[in-house]
Amino acid sequence: MINLKSKTGDKARRSMIGNMMVYGLIGLLACISMLPLVYALVNSLKPIDELLQFPPRFIVVRPTLDSYKDLFQLVSSLWVPLSRYMFNTMFVTSLGTLGHVLFASMAAYPLAKHGFPGKKPLFAAIVMALMFVPSVTFMPLFILMTKLNLVNTYWALIFPWIGSSLGLFLMKQFIEQIPDQILEAARIDGSSEFRTFFTIIMPNALPAIMTVILFQFNQMWNYTQSDLVFSESLKMVRTAFEQIAQENSIVRMGPGSAASVILMLPPILLFVLLQRKVVETMTFAGIK
């Protein structure tokens, strides 16, 4: 006679062991992914003699906050105050992110829900643009900004990011999942395209919008392209921190490590707040 209870128990134990192995592997990969962040934090707490040790150590023997103190002393001695750099960063990042979200959403709507000549080649060009990094397109961008008389202005830092292709791709892929029946019902009720977009598309595409905000904020927060802006009063805080760290690479290793940690905090905090939306958007966009 077959012992069904025994077989069920064996299957449950095998399933539990398999789950434990999967969770253990995921935990190991998560720890490996966190190593660069932890190492940056550890380096910011090391005194200068431990920073210069070779081979470098992953642990700190005598933790100190001297690197942070030195960083803020150096920043306070700049002729452009830190508050100005912070304002530049927040202004450029906020306006560029909001402009990109609006532009990407409005461009993605007809690509996802309307048919027009050249739609497929246009989307193929957008996907192809994802392969290019900003350094590849810098010369055409510089010529364009020069022709528009935007060099050495905030707009030279904002306009190039508004037309970024990644947000457009994500929004288009997500909006395609919104049922056409909802849009048809809105049109039957007399809703205009703009009203349909702002009252139906935008609320339903909120996960994608949050994801685009996260990606765009991270890219613009870490933007260091200063060739379009020459005035020190227009530069961003990352550029200021990098200039401080590079003036004397050995003496300022500690402040440079502290600056790296400070610059990592806003994108990490934003990701923690929006991570669920990111996973949902990636599922709809077909990104594994």
Going from the C-alpha of 213 to that of each of 94, 201, 220, 253, the distances in angstroms are 9, 17, 10, 32
Cis peptide before 55 (omega within 30 of 0): yes
**67 and 45 Cβ atoms separated by less than 8 Å:** yes
Residue 258 has what pLDDT?
A: 78
CA separation for the pair 52, 36 (Å, rounded): 18
Task: Tell me the residue length of the chain.
Answer: 288
For 5, the token pair is 């209870």
**223 and 238 Cβ atoms separated by less than 8 Å:** yes
The dihedral over CA atoms of 26, 177, 199, 214, expressed in degrees to the nearest 10, equals: 30
Q: Is 46 helix (H, G, I), strand (E, B) or coil?
A: coil
Nearest Cα to Cα of residue 265 among 77, 96, 89: 89
* Blockwise average pLDDT, block size 10, the chain, 288 residues: 51 67 80 78 76 74 77 75 83 89 88 82 82 77 85 84 83 84 83 84 84 84 74 79 66 73 81 70 52
For 76, the token pair is 């306070």
Residue 288 has what pLDDT?
A: 42
Give the Cβ contact number of residue 262 at 10 Å: 16
Burial label for 88, CB within 10 Å (0-12, 13-18, 19+), is buried
Residue 1 has what pLDDT?
A: 46
Nearest Cα to Cα of residue 40 among 239, 254, 214, 252: 254
**214 and 66 Cβ atoms separated by less than 8 Å:** no
63-119: pLDDT as tens digits: 777 778 777 777 777 777 778 888 888 888 889 889 999 988 888 888 888 878 888
CA separation for the pair 81, 189 (Å, rounded): 55
Give the Cβ contact number of residue 228 at 10 Å: 20
pTM given for the model: 0.75
